[in-house]
A = this chain, B = another copy of it.
């Protein structure tokens, strides 16, 4: 089962290496991960998607909680959170195919952010389903280069 974890950590030296090491040490492969400072520059948020067995993951989360620089961990369940991903993709494009690519971009509100005589770079944001649908339509043109952020997620409501 796929899990989206949101981990608040102190923005200190080596914390990411320790968190990533904890997952790999316990046999979890991290599918995607992103980390950046929050509104408080002393605190960073790691959002990670991992595949794995529920009970093993619970153990891993307990272990994570013991790391001294970890402040909070949330294991998001369906419906509790909104998730978005940013995809940037360099697609083959020439005078014949460019207009069709533009149409596909329009449908998905994707933006062309660079263009050369033989390619365009497209940026698109969405949930997993939207990104997948966009990729399926754009892939036949030929993908030259691709970068994804992986899921970014926030809790739906304040429970305060």
Range of interface residues on A (Cβ < 8 Å) = 35 or more
Min CB–CB distance A25 → chain B (angstroms): 8
Contact partner of A149 among B12, B38, B123, B149, CB < 8 A? Answer: B149
> Once the chains bind, are B116 and A147 in contact (CB under 8 Å)?
no
- Interface majority SS (helix, strand, loop, mixed), chain A: strand
- State whether A30 and B6 are in contact (beta carbons under 8 Å apart), knowing that A116-B157, A125-B123, A146-B38 are contacts in the complex: no
> Once the chains bind, are A36 and B149 in contact (CB under 8 Å)?
yes
> Once the chains bind, are A36 and B152 in contact (CB under 8 Å)?
no
Please tell me if A98 contacts chain B, counting CB pairs below 8 Å: no
Contact partner of A31 among B17, B37, B39, B146, CB < 8 A? Answer: B37
- State whether A33 and B31 are in contact (beta carbons under 8 Å apart), knowing that A14-B24, A147-B47, A149-B86 are contacts in the complex: no
Number of copies of chain A assembled together: 2
Give A37 to B51 CA distance when docked, in angstroms: 14
Closest B residue by C-beta to A122:
B154
Closest B residue by C-beta to A143:
B39
Residues of B contacting A153 in the complex (Cβ-Cβ under 8 angstroms): 88, 147
Q: List 8 A-B contacts (CB under 8 A).
A: A16-B33, A33-B33, A39-B89, A82-B88, A90-B154, A114-B157, A116-B158, A121-B154
